[in-house]
Amino acid sequence: MTGQLNRVDVTVLPAGWATRGAYPSEVSGSWSPALSPDGRHAAYVSDRSGSPKVWVQPVGSELTFLVDTGEEPVVSVHWSTGGGWLACVLAPGGAPRTEVWLVRPDGSALHQVAGFGTDSAENVRWLPGRPLLAVTENLTTTLLVDAEHGTRSDIATGELVSLFDVSPDRSRALLRQGPRGSRYIAVRDLATGVDEYVTSGEQACFGPDGSVWARSDAGERPVLLQGSVLRAESDDAEVEAFALTSDGTKLAVLWNVDGGRSALTVDGMPVELPGWVVSQPAWSADGSTLAFTAEGPGQPHGVWTWTLPGGLVPVSVDEVVEKAIHPTLRRFASHDGLEISGWLFEPLGPGPHPTVLWLHGGPEAQERPGHGPLFQSLVDRGIAVFAANVRGSSGFGRSFVNADNGALRYGAIADVKSCVEHLVATGVTDPERVGCMGRSYGGYLTLAALTTYPELFAVGIDVCGMSNFATFYEHTEPWIAAAAVSKYGDPVLDADLLRDLSPITRIDNLRAPLMVVHGENDSNVPVIEAEQVVEALAERGVEHRYLLFPGEGHELLHRSSRAEYLRETVGWLTRHLLSLHSLSAH
């Protein structure tokens, strides 16, 4: 079944109610900072024009220049160490498949260099001091693109392989290999093809002396290594990312602390941050300037730079919404005693409140206290939001990330029930008015919870979630399927387990009104995952709604799509969580 079902009109609530919903629905953001070699200009991605495009701006100036890369949305931008090129990662149709294009900073000489046809290119990095771009295609082929000569050179091939770096003499390649949850870093001798294992992890680079710097997750908490020497660790925080200057004299380390907030150090000294959550630290080629993105409650993604002694300079930053609700971190024991947590956005005034449980994607991701127009819009209307980090989430140690692998996934589904029980027991939540929603893996977990514990929920929203592991494996991109086996299970060897874990198997149990949201071009979680749920609910007469976005993929990249999604989602949830209560009170 394709297309879009007729939409349900939202119930009109009592006069005066709508004036409470004054939180800005959708604002622009900026991310993926890339600095010119001298740190005086910044390139970044912003959707201020309606869809993600590349902009260049002098640091400290309000002048902005749009770099024309065509109609397709841009995922990231990377400034060459020599300054002559911008490498732009584009997502045709908004789908997970990506292409790499080169363009001069003045917008001239635009041309494609990777991700041709059905290939998907990712993990883009300019090599220090050289006009060479490291690129990986389809997690099977790694290559170098020579920007000046327009040539491509294969470096290494293999299954589930990705290129991090190449030594200056091009004798060694630094590779990431393996499936999700079991990825490791190795150095390959390009003459012999022999690999030398470095560590378990997903970020690494060569230092100027040829040593390997790696974020290692071989232990319980990720740390930073230089060869076998420990360079950064903490008993209660994780090394999330690092950035080393080309000459190796400055080191920025990004930390994940206190349930999902950020901390940043440069050469061991703390940097004052302009937002609760920071990401994408990157040095200019000369090592003078560090760029990163920052966000927080009511604070959209913005690009900042930092220098010593100059300090912080905003580059592309939107105004903070002063009325935003700041969440509190809740930690509690789940059904089997394992501690789980989440960020509670609670309306003003006494509870219990109608509540929406939000489940993030991944599952190896983390709900963090960043910018969330949906959460703020719901709280503004009197609905609490609990953004949960159930088992399988990152940020809480290696054991926690792996605690939902394969047959352990039943424990993650039971965590959803434990979240509801905690919120009800602590007086936050009205047990008669609980909703559940999530996107990608969180959409799967939403469907699993709605069909496993139908008595708990009054409404649900599934955003591009998997409903049937068999059809997911059959229709997703081959490299996505190959990487997912270690996390979910093998589609052949574990077929019975995956069938039992698939929400479509228990779709007869679903009772809550359900909205299903999907991007038509999604090739990560293909649209058949939504269609079979909608068809099953229509056959069973369950109230539902199907919101399909043409021209979008796994992410809603256009601001107009996100605004419509926000409007329809808030309407669906308020209709089912507030209307009866509001109308009976008047």
The residues with which 351 forms a beta bridge, in sequence order, are none
Locate tokens 């079979």: which residue? 532
Distance CA 552, CA 558 (A): 8
Q: Report the Cα 557 to chain-centroid distance in Å.
A: 13
Entry field: residues in the chain: 586
pLDDT > 80? residue 8: no
Residue among 467, 552, 477 at smallest CA distance from 510: 467
The DSSP element (H or E) to which 443 belongs, if any, is helix 441-452
User: What's the CA gap between 277 and 371, in Å, rounded?
Assistant: 9
What's the rounded Cα separation, in Å, for the pair 511 and 502?
A: 17
Give percent above pLDDT 90 in the chain. 88
Q: How many CA atoms lie within 13 A of 47 on its CB side?
A: 21
**DSSP labels for 494-550?**
THHHHHHH-GGGGGGG--S-EEEEEETT-TTTTTHHHHHHHHHHHHHT--EEEEEET
Q: Is the pLDDT of residue 146 over 60?
A: yes
Residues 64-83: what's their mean pLDDT?
Answer: 96
Q: How confident is the model at residue 422 (pLDDT cuts 50, 70, 90)?
A: very high
Which residues, at least 6 apart from 215, have a Cβ–Cβ distance to it below 8 Å? 201, 202, 203, 204, 222, 223, 224, 225, 239, 240, 241, 242
Average pLDDT on 319-331 reads 90
Strands (E), 321-428: 328-333, 339-345, 353-359, 384-389
Cβ atoms within 10 A of the Cβ of 48, count? Answer: 17
Q: What is the mean pLDDT of the chain?
A: 92
What is the per-residue pLDDT for 14?
28
State how far the alpha carbon of 49 is from the alpha carbons of 370, 519, 553, in Å. Answer: 22, 21, 19
Residue type for 511, please? R
Q: Which of 111, 106, 107, 152 has the alpha carbon at shortest distance from 133?
A: 152
Q: Is the pLDDT of residue 10 over 50?
A: no
pLDDT tens digits, residue range 525-557?
A: 999 999 999 999 999 999 999 999 999 999 999
Do the beta carbons of residue 450 and residue 460 sit within 8 Å?
yes
Q: Which residue is associated with the tokens 């209660």?
A: 236
At residue 130, the pLDDT reads 87
CA 495 to chain centre: 28
pLDDT at 298 exceeding the cut of 60: yes
Sheet (strand 141-146) strand order: 121-126, 132-137, 141-146, 151-157
Per-residue model confidence (pLDDT) at position 580:
52
Strands 161-166 and 328-333: unpaired
Q: Is 142 helix (H, G, I), strand (E, B) or coil?
A: strand
Report helix, strand or coil for 448: helix
Q: Is residue 197 classed exposed, middle or buried when 0-12, 13-18 and 19+ CB atoms within 10 A define those classes?
A: exposed
**Residue pointed to by tokens 């000569």:** 149
Structure-token match 């490291």, residue found: 134
pLDDT band at 582 (very low <50, low <70, confident <90, very high): very low
265-273's contacts with Cβ under 8 Å and 24+ in sequence apart are 265/232, 266/290, 266/306, 266/308, 271/306, 272/311, 272/312
The closest alpha carbon to 467, from 480, 476, 477, belongs to: 476
Place of tokens 């900073």: 105
Helix/strand/coil for 456? helix
Q: For residue 168, give the nearest of 81, 254, 97, 98 by alpha carbon.
A: 81
CA 439, distance to chain mean position in Å, is 10
Rounded CA-CA distance 399/330 in Å is: 20
* pLDDT at residue 320 is higher than 80: no
Average pLDDT over residues 503-509: 98
Asked if pLDDT for residue 442 goes beyond 60, the answer is: yes
pLDDT at position 95: 82
Q: What is the pLDDT of residues 85-102, one digit of tens each?
A: 999 999 998 888 999 999
Residues 6+ positions from 108 with CB-CB distance below 8 Å: none
Please give the structure tokens belonging to residue 32: 């993926």
Residues 6+ apart with CB under 8 A from 235: 221
User: Is the pLDDT assigned to residue 395 strictly greater than 50?
Assistant: yes
Residue 552 contacts residue 12 (beta carbons within 8 Å): no
**SS3 at position 482:** helix
Confidence class for position 318, pLDDT limits 50, 70, 90: confident
Asked whether the predicted pLDDT for residue 175 surpasses 80, the reply is yes
Residue 11 pLDDT exceeds 90:
no
Instruction: Tell me, yes or no, if the pTM score tops 0.85.
Output: yes
Spatial neighbors of 468 by CB under 8 A, at least 6 apart, are 502, 503, 504, 505, 529, 532
Q: What is the mean pLDDT of residues 152-180?
A: 93
The label of the residue with tokens 């941050």 reads 273
Q: For 76-95, b where at least 16 C-beta lie within 10 A, e where not — what string?
A: bbbbbbebebbbbbbbbbbb
What would the mean pLDDT of 188-202 be, rounded to a whole number?
Answer: 95
